Chain A
């Protein structure tokens, strides 16, 4: 018989779980199981009221283990660890069982099966809990310094923000010049401020702050250490090449984006007069008066939207900024035309926007309205019938499209200029990805842990992402996310210490024969060879280990165990789960 005193809470999650899993039956099955002294079901386990009830049970019933069967541990592990901690129970004696993503949501068509599976998983959780031992988090001092990688608008603003909250900052930029994309732009949407001016203002602010050290022509090439105490190696592209190491507590990655480069022939790309949005933007920025191309006044422009974006093959995502940027560019063209118009007023530039959906969200809508009111024509094409760009016999570009807004009529627009509204693509920097071990999403951009719960954090503690390296953003949205990364850095560094999960792998040195297999599988370079009692054995750095468990099964001597997930616990969990099937 178990002498443990475990509390089990099974959550309805409103109806998310209980619509499919018979929650009360699950509770009934484990009621009175060895070591289980409390078994309850609850509408929302994560609600404050239930949290308080759990805390009261922990105290009154002197619980020494806690099992919550609700949703994915990704969501609420910290929540319930917090409950345990507040009630005086070691947070690592709590186990999360996922009966939502793994039972109710996965088996909406089979209530009985979902209930059985949930019961099995809860029993497995209880079995694992019976063998749980109290663990203490590792407390590490944190370095009050941060690094920002990338000096585009997000990185620059983040560097200033970090300095302003009292942190030392190292700003690392690969290029010679600070400013990234925005530093090359003239007037930008939505407020017509010049990108060059914005960057100049930020650079001036940087120069005022001695806490910021700027490295240009520089790259982050190595990172060691762990959360709160990283050692970052920066290679300076000087002659001779120089590397220097800095201690930082956090790293803000703000490496930005690349623009989509169309394939040759894609909407006539490669033909003279077919330009991408950034190329077009550069033309406008450089134009003192009415827009010209190859020395000739541009009288008709056709814009083709979503080039490289929202494509079933290739980039499925929407690039978010392009509609507003194009509406703005179109307004600028009209403005330039007016500036150079000679009386009597010349007809303005004919602008045709061939789009799928215009996504000028929020206040950007005003630019779209202004653009239409300034005479630009917007024509919607069907997703499966994109426009065709061809060179006519007269040597002029012709864009043929079907406008769904006017009954699908086929129109051919002779254009002086065809603008391919190209979006953002993830920047190719595999070295950095490998180095930082920050995962990317299906779209190829860096992935946050959770867009709402932890929007600038990555799975690597202390490595934060900001700006368009996370996904397409406007300049001001990039600035906001850069500042959000500042906030997150300050929140973790200003305390001066950090607590690291103790759920890490340990080596039983007497059983280790140093074969090196564990080192091969460790993705975090946490294992090193050390001498112990005259033998060579493996040692795992507790602060570097992320507890992924990869090394444990790789060890031929069974010398590695993962705290919180020991072999004994896993075996007990399997037995617990099978118990249900036998019944």
Chain B
């Protein structure tokens, strides 16, 4: 047996049971869900009726629990399941959740909290204030070790094909850390400005905020980070890493090649890029028009790479891979993209004036701007390149630009906003038409169209169907064909192709048929997007590094490992309602007759960037911004930490999972959650605690120190309308305690308690109640019907004044405290998947023989301690936990005795 006893939950009941069992000499495993032991009591201000401060009572118990030689305390752990075997022993599935912090190394210095860019409601302060995603639960936490809360991967980050920590840079911008945001993108790729302009931003499609008013402007935020970085006068010097002596050749300087070069050079590899074209940048340089991506922005990104010492040999076409090897390159990355254009294979395609879009766009980008004044242009294709060509033609002065595509407008591969922008710029769209041929005499004069009835077949394969009877002809002086692109497979005869258009490479490792040659980007995948190619370039660099270090390529943790994606509905369910935010609208100054290639999209202002990033819902909680990792002086934070599961065998189980507090918004007539100055008593206890968030008692609405404070007793208790006819036992006394503490802290404040019965039943409780009355608290018998808010935030309480005639009267208060009661915590049921842990009629763990055997449940060997079995105050919880410990000890002794008897019987048989 690994332990004698498993104790689930480390509130005051769990700690008491564990400590006493440990004192008796039993080995105890204590599992706590939160990052610290202590439960709810440690969060209280003082405790009745002695007015001891809760910390002073709790902290020594917490420290003893952790340091007890017989107790193993697992914090931030979970019990996944408990199974009882035929010998009455329990097999427990225990899971140590990943804290992402090395407990041994963490010193509790809290610098990660300061650095963290994500704020979430602080459950340890009853949501009055925020805490960070990197947090130490509370100042007296035991162990005082940080936890990084990661619920999953945020949808934006999860969807980014480049592998950029999207949520990370958004939260950095929100925190004003613009340079850090830039660096977070640069961790993946040097193309920050380029992606900030020309990425199709699939992240925005996934943004959970999109389910509300609109997704946050993620792409433009990246551009903001890039603009800010490049606009700096004090650009940081680039640290060139120590050369590791190995050399890598990269063929192609598009997004994949540049990214691979960037990553490898940063690790000390000697990298040389070979580019066939006269300028580096690949499709970004040659195909994307300047009005979308100015050449300067791209060049600034490329300068990041050359600053590391990467040489780019332009106008250098490489075909002989072996020569690269003999020239001293240890590995090669082929990232040549898709420079060749697909052909229509129709009549007249070889007429002059019929041109591929790639060559048309390339000519423009390389400075040969054809004058299209007075000319009519037909652009064939429905993708982004076709749109780029059409809009470029407009800018070159064409009289009319006709865009012809097979698809209907809704199915076009180009993004809808791009199509709309093209139409706004007077491009004329002819959707649902195929090309029958071109006519003309030497030079094209017209393009003949035939109606396309379907683009895809039933299996969604590209197989266009035409209606030859439905035809038209469009006159044109220039026809630009943009119907597809492919790799130049003939360039590398030694590399196995993948079909006719792309190179073959292992999809995971990107290794080609030659082990030292890797291939990445569109050269392998066919035409995709910049971001996808960036992701592949990054992967290629990772694999090449492993290859050159002699490591197995099969391990992908470093690049593929991420938590499961967050479910959007789960994220939205965190809050009851959302105040709509002002959408950061992008109004592009589009002209119906654009004249030049100047960049259209204006930069984001800082105010827009802060407002835009401010809408982030922090779906995964931790944004992976990496600030904590960088800041931690002990290098204790490891975001790749994994949870650990184990099975342990124990002789008995104590369920001490505590209770839940009534959710006060279930009594809408009291206005909790709607009126800021209506708070719960737990929040008041936090306002009063020595570790209080505001260092004084104030009302949350406006920070005013309240002078008239009302308590509404029995909120959610003794109330059939919320399905809880039970009394919660401790609310009267904690309210009486708070009354005294408030009167001590705010001598001028008036405290009025609206009650049904004051239940001061316990040792020295009545005397404590008398003391509150003698200090001046007023106790008014009668229920409260309704609370309403005045303009100044004050609250009008409508109540029945029983002792003065029973009339409905109103009183005005600055602050209303709801004395919320106990709700059962139903989690323990899930602990036992194989047998049913019996609950009572109100869903508390049932004690079968409460009269004589408190703490015993229906499962032999399973005991309950504290409030898991019903409302109790601290004193009663401690006594109950002590009783449960006695029951556990009796059970263990009985089991041991039975074991001895069995053994003896066996010995006898043997004798």
Contact = CB atoms under 8 A, between A and B. Distances in A.
A407 B806 contact: yes
A193 B650 CA distance: 34
B66 interface: yes
Contacts of A316: 766-767, 770
Nearest to A309: B766
A490 B718 contact: no
A198 B876 CA distance: 22
B63 A46 contact: yes
A15 B881 CA distance: 31
Contacts of B890: 161, 164-165
Contacts of B142: 47-48
Contact of B727 (A361, A475, A490): A361
A471 B806 CA distance: 36
B857 interface: no
Interface in A421-458: 441-443, 445, 450-453, 455-456
Contact of A13 (B25, B50, B690): B690
A320 B762 contact: yes
Given A164-B893, A318-B760, A487 B60 contact: no
Max chain B Cβ within 10 angstroms of own Cβ: one of A161, A362, A366: A362
A169 B899 CA distance: 24
B63 A166 contact: no
B762 A488 contact: no
Contact of B761 (A82, A359, A470, A481): A359
A296 interface: no
A404 B803 contact: yes
B759 A359 contact: yes
Contacts of B695: 15
A144 interface: no
Contacts of A86: 67
Nearest to A383: B773
Interface string A77-89: 0110010001000
Contacts of B62: 48
A310 B760 CA distance: 10
Contact of B726 (A165, A366, A380): A366
B874 interface: yes
Contacts of A485: 882
B309 interface: no
Max chain B Cβ within 10 angstroms of own Cβ: one of A450, A451, A482: A451
Contacts of B23: 491-492, 495
B50 A451 contact: yes
Contacts of A193: 851
Interface in A339-363: 357-363
Given A15-B690, A360-B727, A443 B764 contact: yes
Contact of A362 (B139, B143, B872): B872
Nearest to B23: A491
A362 B871 contact: yes
B815 interface: no
Contacts of A443: 763-764
B806 A71 contact: no
A363 B878 contact: no
A494 interface: yes
B852 A201 contact: yes
B725 A369 contact: yes
Interface string B858-894: 0000000000001110111011111111110110011
A476 interface: yes
Contacts of A366: 725-726
B686 to A, nearest CB: 12
Nearest to A453: B57
A289 interface: no
B727 A157 contact: no
Nearest to A320: B761
A14 B691 contact: yes
Contacts of A198: 851-852
B889 A310 contact: no
B52 interface: yes
B222 interface: no
A73 to B, nearest CB: 12
Given A76-B60, A404-B803, A477-B879, A487 B889 contact: yes
B854 A480 contact: yes
Given A455-B875, A487-B882, A491-B20, A46 B765 contact: no
Contacts of A461: none
A362 B726 CA distance: 6
B727 A484 contact: no
B770 to A, nearest CB: 7
Contacts of A476: 850-851, 854
A361 B730 CA distance: 9
B200 interface: no
A198 B851 CA distance: 8
A567 interface: no
A486 interface: yes
B193 to A, nearest CB: 46
A487 B20 contact: yes
Max chain B Cβ within 10 angstroms of own Cβ: one of A43, A310, A361, A472: A361
Interface in B691-725: 691-692, 695, 718, 725
Interface in B812-829: none
A365 B889 contact: no
B617 interface: no
A44 B140 contact: yes
Interface in B753-778: 757-767, 770
A317 B886 contact: no
A239 to B, nearest CB: 35
A480 B55 contact: no
A490 B886 contact: yes
Interface in A471-510: 471-472, 475-477, 479-488, 490-492, 494-495
A16 B882 contact: no
A456 B882 contact: yes
B24 interface: yes
Nearest to A52: B144
B717 to A, nearest CB: 8
A450 B883 CA distance: 17
A157 to B, nearest CB: 6
A524 interface: no
B202 interface: no
A452 B56 contact: no
Interface string B776-816: 00000100000000000000000000110110000000000
B752 interface: no
Given A13-B56, A481-B883, A483-B886, A362 B851 contact: no
Max chain B Cβ within 10 angstroms of own Cβ: one of A13, A320, A382, A492: A320
A48 B691 CA distance: 16
Given A47-B59, A359-B760, A365-B718, A318 B25 contact: no
Interface in A269-316: 309-310, 316
Given A79-B60, A480-B879, A318 B871 contact: no
A75 interface: yes
A78 B12 CA distance: 19
Interface of B: 12, 20, 23-25, 47, 49-50, 52-53, 55-57, 59-64, 66-67, 108, 139-144, 689-692, 695, 718, 725-729, 744, 757-767, 770, 781, 802-803, 805-806, 840, 842, 850-855, 870-872, 874-876, 878-887, 889-890, 893-894
24 contacts: A14-B692, A47-B142, A49-B144, A51-B63, A71-B56, A75-B60, A76-B56, A161-B886, A165-B893, A191-B851, A202-B852, A318-B761, A357-B760, A365-B718, A406-B806, A451-B764, A453-B60, A471-B762, A471-B763, A483-B886, A487-B883, A487-B889, A490-B889, A495-B23
Q: Can you list the 6 inter-chain pairs with the closest CB atoms, starting with the nearest?
A: A14-B690, A484-B882, A164-B890, A483-B883, A491-B23, A471-B763
Given A14-B55, A14-B692, A201-B852, 17 more contacts: A51-B63, A165-B893, A191-B851, A317-B765, A359-B761, A362-B871, A404-B803, A408-B803, A452-B875, A453-B57, A455-B879, A456-B879, A476-B851, A484-B878, A484-B885, A490-B24, A492-B23
